[in-house]
Structure 1
Amino acid sequence: MKTVSRIAALATAVVLAFVPYTASAADAPPSAATVFTRAYDTTTKNVTLTFDADWWSPGNPEEVLRILRDNAVTAAFSLTGRYVEKYPDQTRTLLSAGHKLINHSYDHPYFTQLSRADRWAELDRAEAAFNRLGYTSAGWFRAPYRDGYLDAGVNADLAARGYYLNYDWTFDTTGYEGASLDTILSRVRQYTVPGATIVMHLSNDSTDTAALPSIISTLRGMGYGFNDPYRSVTKGLIGAKYAALGAQSCALGVPRSGEMVATTAGTSAVQWFDGGRVYWRNDIGAFEVHGAIAGTYIGLGSVTSFLGYPRTDETGTPDGIGRYNHFQGGSIYWSPASGSHTVYGAIRDRWSTLGWERGFLGYPVSDEVGVTGGRASQFQGGNIYWSAATAAHEVHGAILGRYLQLGGTGSTLGLPTGDEYSVDGGRRSDFAHGAILWNASTGALTVLSD
């Protein structure tokens, strides 16, 4: 049975759209979960349907799913760990259909009455139950009894455990009390607002399942459509980018945070997803990074690094093998053989003139590093060296092998002053204090010094 406190919380509709939290530092994890009582979009006449399940009874998941499927509605299911453990088959039925899973704690306690350690234990035990069936909440939470959903301490503890989305609700149908169809539909008509999140209950005693077809038809008669819960927590150009990429079916996967300020410099935003992030700045636009490239980018400091903001989404390379993102200050390239590495500045410019990854140098196999007198990047087929005095030039093949044997830029030859070129009988590379020649007939290498 629900408690008096639970019933009191349902007395009126909540019209607060959401409580946003910005990152505590540039592109850093949020210090508190973002609370959504409505979708980000509170102007369009859409609603999100959600169902809570404690553990007292399984309800009728098959019938709920049939109704949702017949009406082309994607919903969210807020499940306790004990429900999942007690009814694993019903859980698989619900979640295999593509609906969103929300962590509703392990055994439905009042969160304001728990310590941080106990809150985390509730989250962890529930998540472990999900994981055993092959599912995850991806950092989405709903407060049992709606207790403390706006409590600063609760939301700080959620974020500290990686739960950045506190997915609340706008109103309850009260079907869990055995409300009549007339009562449920009266609440729908009274409390529905654009962006509303409606909570129902999945239990044997709830009248919500029987009322669901009428709830859906009533909402449609009021001119409302239905939000996908995954889309309900995105907005603006970041939301449009996410949708264009395929939303939760794309490489980004499930949203992990609300939208946050990316940096304090300029007008910017970032949103975290399970597989990457989308960044937006008013003078650049919205672009995504994910996978290994995102790992490299974030490891460097993302928007606060020399790379700045992304200027492209992750894109396949023309050779059909690798991937890349271009940024304000350079690029990150990845291939299965080379991994993910940065290339930028004059070295990137020289690499581009040599044909990018389709040239003889291939993909970068190192980030740019400091060397004696300048900078260098390693590629599959050779190196590019740069200094302000000598500009950027490549060295490759047998000449590079001898150059490195001699000590590279730390040798008496110094930095290259030109790319390798043809001479009678072979090839030659010039350096600040000499040259290396390669004989095509014999393979002999000759070092010339000043």
Structure 2
Amino acid sequence: MSRSTRARRRTAAALLSAAVAAVVTFGGSPAQADTFRYTDPNYATWTVQGAILDEYRAQGGLYGRLNIPRSNELTTPDRFGRFSVFGQGSIYWTPWTGARTVWAPFLAEWGTVGWEAGHLGYPLTSDVPTPDRLGRFQVFQRGLIYWTPWTGAHAVRGAILQEYGSHGWEASQLGYPTTGELTAPDGRGRFNAFQRGLVYWTPSTGAHAVWGAISQTYASNGWETGPLGYPLTSELPTPDGIGRFNHFEGGSIYFTPWTGAYAVTGEFHAVWSSLGWENSELGYPTSPEYDTQDGGTVQEFEYGWIEWYPGEGASAYLYE
């Protein structure tokens, strides 16, 4: 082989190596490469590597939902993990969780609770479809984030998450979360709102769900700041199998399909419960409390009423 031929081959090999490097730099990703470099339109070059690169490829790489790299691999503030930022999310890695994608809507909600240093901790999964295929969810060390196109992304954690799960998650009467966990106006409790109800928590009452018609009546009575206070139970069936009820700190709300949902509080609650609740001769409540012209207050039931007057207290009466 002549010297000129060998020189041409060395030149060709060098050009081929340069071409491969250019492909990697500007968007290609050889299947077995350990490192991927991307140069953006501003000529900044970002490197993706290792387990984070594997996850990036699994999400479709440049043409997937994460979009283009926006950072080199970085160390988390707690020094336990590593992460890379992309155009539409991030990938986080720790030795015990592996590499997990946090897609942009989930990333924004996660950020509101402090990222990996917050209540949720590190992601344990990437987001996956819910069984009903209407939404997506992601599992973190200490909670979940749910997302749908119409509710957005919201975190559920701790005792509220346990209560939510006990009712069947998003397939339950509650539906998908519509808020993250919030502090109640009185500063005493916490709650998440859902499509068809709420879950409330305080240290003394625990976490309990309120939904449907009972939730609407609870709202009309001022939620937890009204006479009912916080829920002491989730919604339960009545012993006769006809109605539903929640007990609260200051009373109860009872519901049947034909009477509707009504709150019974204070002395009305004390008298009704002493008679045997809905199994008493009064039956279920059929009205809220209302004032009478002679200075009293009355609440009606299926088969009678309870009336209250200042200085006299509350007494029950049956219809004749």
TM > 0.5 fold call: yes
Q: Is it true that 1:342 corresponds to 2:209 in the alignment?
A: yes
Q: Is it true that 1:254 corresponds to 2:122 in the alignment?
A: yes
Residue type of the partner of 1:408? Answer: W
Residue type of the partner of 1:310? Answer: P
Map 1:21-420 to 2 at 5 A.
Answer: 37-39=54-56, 41=66, 43-48=68-73, 73-74=74-75, 98-100=78-80, 142=95, 165-167=97-99, 233-266=101-134, 268-371=135-238, 372=240, 373-420=242-289
> 2:112 & 2:145 partners in 1: Cα distance?
12
Q: Which residue of 1 aligns with 2:313?
A: 443
The 8 Å contact of residues 251 and 265 in structure 2, kept in 1 or not, is answered as yes
The CA deviation at 1:370 is 1.5
Q: Unmatched 5+ residue regions in structure 1?
A: 1-11, 17-33, 49-72, 76-96, 103-139, 143-162, 168-231
The structure whose residues are more often helix, as a share, is 1
> 1:314 & 1:411 partners in 2: Cα distance?
39
TM-score, normalization by structure 1 = 0.52
The CA deviation at 1:439 is 3.9
The CA deviation at 1:442 is 3.4
Corresponding residue pairs, total: 254
> 2:172 & 2:121 partners in 1: Cα distance?
25
Inter-CA distance 261–14: structure 2 relative to 1 (3 Å threshold) = farther
Q: Which residue of 2 aligns with 1:432?
A: 302
Residue type of the partner of 2:264? Answer: V
Per-residue CA deviation, residues 41-79 of structure 1 (Å, 9 max, x unaligned), is 46124232xxxxxxxxxxxxxxxxxxxxxxxx525xxxx
The CA deviation at 1:444 is 5.5
The 8 Å contact of residues 277 and 289 in structure 1, kept in 2 or not, is answered as yes
TM-score, normalization by structure 2 = 0.71
The CA deviation at 1:287 is 1.0
> 2:314 & 2:126 partners in 1: Cα distance?
63
Residue type of the partner of 1:312? Answer: T
Per-residue CA deviation, residues 199-248 of structure 1 (Å, 9 max, x unaligned), is xxxxxxxxxxxxxxxxxxxxxxxxxxxxxxxxx63122112221243211
Inter-CA distance 45–439: structure 2 relative to 1 (3 Å threshold) = closer
> 1:141 & 1:248 partners in 2: Cα distance?
11
> 2:202 & 2:157 partners in 1: Cα distance?
14
> 1:299 & 1:369 partners in 2: Cα distance?
13
The CA deviation at 1:15 is 6.5
Q: Unmatched 5+ residue regions in structure 2?
A: 1-31, 37-50, 60-65, 83-92
Inter-CA distance 389–357: structure 2 relative to 1 (3 Å threshold) = same
The 8 Å contact of residues 80 and 94 in structure 2, kept in 1 or not, is answered as no
> Looking at CA atoms only, which structure, 1 or 2, has the larger radius of gyration?
2
Inter-CA distance 233–388: structure 2 relative to 1 (3 Å threshold) = same
Task: Give the secondary structure class of the aligned counterpart of 1:243.
Answer: helix
> 1:15 & 1:262 partners in 2: Cα distance?
33
The structure whose residues are more often strand, as a share, is 2
Q: Which has the higher contact order (CA 8 A, sep 6+)?
A: 1
The CA deviation at 1:265 is 2.6
The two structures, once aligned, show a CA RMSD in angstroms of 2.6
The CA deviation at 1:409 is 0.8
Q: Which residue of 1 aligns with 2:42?
A: none
Task: Give the secondary structure class of the aligned counterpart of 1:346.
Answer: helix
Residue type of the partner of 1:438? Answer: W
The 8 Å contact of residues 75 and 81 in structure 2, kept in 1 or not, is answered as no
> 1:240 & 1:276 partners in 2: Cα distance?
15
Per-residue CA deviation, residues 302-351 of structure 1 (Å, 9 max, x unaligned), is 11212111111111112222111111121111122322111111111111
| Runs of 4+ displaced beyond 6 Å | none
Per-residue CA deviation, residues 17-46 of structure 1 (Å, 9 max, x unaligned), is xxxxxxxxxxxxxxxxx9863456461242
The 8 Å contact of residues 438 and 446 in structure 1, kept in 2 or not, is answered as no
Task: Give the secondary structure class of the aligned counterpart of 2:102.
Answer: coil
Inter-CA distance 264–394: structure 2 relative to 1 (3 Å threshold) = closer
